[in-house]
Amino acid sequence: MEQTLYDKLGGEETISKVVEYFYHELVLKDETVNVFFERSDMENQIRHQEKFISFALGGPKQYSGKSMAKAHEGMNLQPEHFDAIVKHLHDALAHFEVSEPDIDQALFKVATLKDDIIYK
């Protein structure tokens, strides 16, 4: 059986660290995207993101939140916002010494969601 990217990256423990770092050290400090989280319950946001990333990387947790289109409805996110988030995810994964090929694989999965996120 082939190892999932979720398992290869270290499972739940690593995903939790990556998501915490992603938000607290990168996203919330970036003035181009932090405005989208001003009224967010960040504890809840982090929990949802952990589940979503775990699910996207082949982990056991099932993401049961809103569809990407529904979750981003009314936000009018532009390509530059999406690109900033992708860069922050890259940097968070790199911070935890995930290899570039594995980062590329993870970001490829995120890129497939772009049409469901921008201009909504």
Provide the CATH number for the domain around residue 77.
Answer: 1.10.490.10
pLDDT of residue 43: 96
* 24 labelled binding-site residue: no
Domain that holds residue 98: 5-117
Residue 1 in this model has a pLDDT that exceeds 70: no
pLDDT of residue 6: 92
* 72 labelled binding-site residue: yes
Q: What is the pLDDT of residues 35-89, one digit of tens each?
A: 999 999 999 999 989 988 888 888 886 667 778 889 888 899 999 999 999 999 9
Q: At what angle do helices 11-21 and 42-56 cross, to 10 degrees?
A: 130
What pTM does this model have? 0.90
Count up the domains in the chain and report the number: 1
pLDDT of residue 88: 97
Backbone angles phi and psi of 76, in degrees to 5: 50, 45
Instruction: Enumerate long-range contacts of 84-88, CB under 8 Å, 24 or more apart.
Output: 84/30, 84/32, 84/33, 85/27, 85/33, 86/110, 86/111, 88/22, 88/26, 88/27, 88/30, 88/33
